[in-house]
Structure 1
Amino acid sequence: MRLPLFLIAYLLAEIAAFAWVGEKVGVLGTVALVVLSTIVGLWLVQRQGLDALRKVARATPGEAPVVAWDGLCLATAGVLFAVPGFISDLAGIALLVPPVRRALLGQAQRLSGTRFTVRTAGGGMNGGGTYGSPARPTTVIDGDFVDVTKPDQGPTLPKE
């Protein structure tokens, strides 16, 4: 029930922001600002997204949750910039600022009562498992195999 109320309040706030900006700069200025903010915002997200991908490639196990959180925040900022509106653009700009992302990560960890971890299917820095956990000794067995079973001869009829 809270989500629809929040959505209605958000939409009313966006309409009020459009009206206020439209009053200050006119209709064409408002449309130009919306288009310009979308283009510039998506460009910034793309640029920072590429930086985030580079950081993922160099991330140490302890940095992996922060890098994953940064990627999530940048993706959210991209969605916010794609939505026409001034309030969503301000929220997107806020998500582009690294200290804001760190503060939100700390808040999310406090609200959930846990620290975030990134799990891998295997082969990570610690041989799989949870990033940030101490490295465990692992045994890797490398080998090849040959299938020695006989191919199926097909169905046989019972003998009478």
Structure 2
Amino acid sequence: MAVAAALLLLLLVAPAAYAVQHIVGDRSGWTETVDYSDWVRGKTFTVGDTLVFNYGSSHRVDEVTRSDYTNCETGNAIDSHSDGNTIVTLSKAGTMYFICPVLGHCSSGMKLAVDVVATSGTSPATPSTRSGSSTPSGATTVVNNGSILGFSLVLGVVLAIMS
């Protein structure tokens, strides 16, 4: 019984793995009115985090190379989105670049460069995954990476053994 209680206590104090969901532009979203250089200042972007781009039908999101970001070149996108609610998973360390390819938007400041840092134990990178979501815009939120489910399963097994 003491071993089971010690194991349960260990599970309760073990840190869970969390990813951060960054709402690009916070409440303003992906728009021409936000200074994205200021928006990234002071934020840490880590492999596993996500960027959520919320925008209207007059905007799009293109992931581009550094050169295309610098020159606001819209013809060579790595990936392109126009769904109004784009989620980009930061799957590798390094800088990722995003622009709005609508004529004049990038040159007026609608571009984002994000420096992504590796986490301890991060494995080699895989291509970024994207999908739609109904996440509302707002402040940065913390999202659990499945640790609660794993914890719940282990806790259930421990409690079953203790019974």
Q: Same fold (TM over 0.5)?
A: no
Q: If the length of structure 2 is used for normalisation, what is the TM-score?
A: 0.18
Q: If the length of structure 1 is used for normalisation, what is the TM-score?
A: 0.18
Mark the structure with the bigger radius of gyration: 1
More strand by share: 2
| Higher relative contact order structure (alpha carbons within 8 Å, sequence separation ≥ 6) | 2
